Structure 1
């Protein structure tokens, strides 16, 4: 898996933030990338001239999108990054609609795509990475159902791995849980909200989180994970500015 040339990777949610960094890093590593997003995304050409990025505009949460794009592009790898930005407010100020928004997007996307990947199935040796959140471990009291939704993404990914093994499919599923980062719109919004809640400045709040996780660091981590032997891949990873840490 060290040579990614000719191994198409679909990145779902590639228009901005960590997804954009993942798509860019994969192309720089030589992979043909299909960047899926609801809005038009722009990418610079890979500097090594080997990889490529093709943009597909689609709603990843639509039940028909996963099957259609998998059939169209026949990918070797799939990375799921897309999701909603939760409303940041205390529990009593949420409505059910705002509380459950990430269940209706993030969890829905993971369910539809992993289901279609198992039904198709992808080619032997395929890698499927679902981007969850560090909130699945630590909680997120201002973001409604976000932490529970991200934990469910991790559970669903584990269920998919079990089903792949039961069906003797040579497909590796794993989830990656990035720590909050001011490098994304979601992270900046959350950091502001929690800083106010804790009577801190945003800079003070972020200082306690350690090295900043950037889209570039995220992209390089995903490239390295795809290049890792399947037998060495953990069921889940925490991702910080310092890199990947396996989770049991």
Structure 2
């Protein structure tokens, strides 16, 4: 897929990995709309990159339908999510345990439903950003790992609905497989696990191998979108060392 002049909506695109993706998309000539809650961060990305911005709560069901109906993106990237509350299983409250379910999964459900029910046009692609915790767990972040696995599973479910309704929309999960400092979720996770190990966060993230700053993450997602070999698989792992297919296309 050539991204030049494609309409792209990125939720949570005003900071962290989402911002790195927005930068990479703009560099390829895509027409990007960033959706986020923070007005100051949205204004900063709009001024610096010339993107369109829409302030909204991604867990607002009506906002999902309204924004997709107005923009009609060729590509939708669901990147927005809550920072997990870091605590050991025997110490975490139910409210903290379910933070990622109440935000990440709830928003995922509403935006996937909007994409399927509008529907987006044939050939559109929807990417849900999951986490390596979906594969390996994350014992200090409550229900975060399960929520991120659910986003991956929901992408598979959405493909089944798209096929049943003959919509021609592809749904895929992006699974960053390392923590990235300088991002809210990455900093929270690295700080917590480094503290337990008695090392610095910088020493902890080295364990993942080659670093993956946000812009590199964005460039790899762009290459995934542009390369035909990645058009049909359901889930991809992304880390500094490159892209891997975690779940192929349904038979």
Q: What residue number does 2:152 align with?
A: 154
User: Paired residues, what number?
Assistant: 242
Alignment of structure 1 residues 94-243 onto 2, 5 Å: 94-178=92-176, 179-229=178-228, 232-243=231-242
**Could you tell me the TM-score, scaled by structure 1's length?**
0.93
Question: In 2, Cα distance between the equivalents of 1:5 and 1:198?
Answer: 45
State the 1:231 CA deviation: 7.0
Deviation track 1:60-119 (CA, whole Å, cap 9, x = no partner) reads 111111100011111111000000001111112211000001000000011000011000
Q: CA 1:186 to 1:239, structure 2 compared with 1: closer, same or farther past 3 Å? A: same
Aligned to 2:23: 24
Q: Hey, what does 2:61 align to over in structure 1? A: 63
CA distance in 1, matches of 2:202, 2:23: 28
Look up the match of 1:89: 87
Residues 219-248 of structure 1, C-alpha deviations (whole Å, 9 max, x = no match): 111211222338743110111112221102
Q: Is the 8 A contact 2:22 2:218 kept in 1?
A: yes
Distance 1:230 1:165 in 2: 20
Distance 1:122 1:86 in 2: 31
State the superposition RMSD in angstroms: 1.5
Measured in 2, the distance between the counterparts of 1:206 and 1:16 equals 19
**Equivalent residues of 1:172, 1:230 under 8 A apart:** no
d(CA) in 2 for partners of 1:62, 1:88: 25
> Hey, which of these two has a bigger chunk of helix by percent?
2
Which stretches in structure 2 are left out of the alignment for 5+ residues? none
Greater than 6 Å deviation, 4+ residue runs:
none
Is the 8 Å Cα contact of residues 235 and 246 (structure 2) preserved in structure 1? yes
Contact 2:224-2:230 within 8 A present in 1 as well: no
The residue aligned with 1:49 is none
Does 2:24 match 1:37? no
Does 233-242 or 37-46 show the bigger shift? 37-46
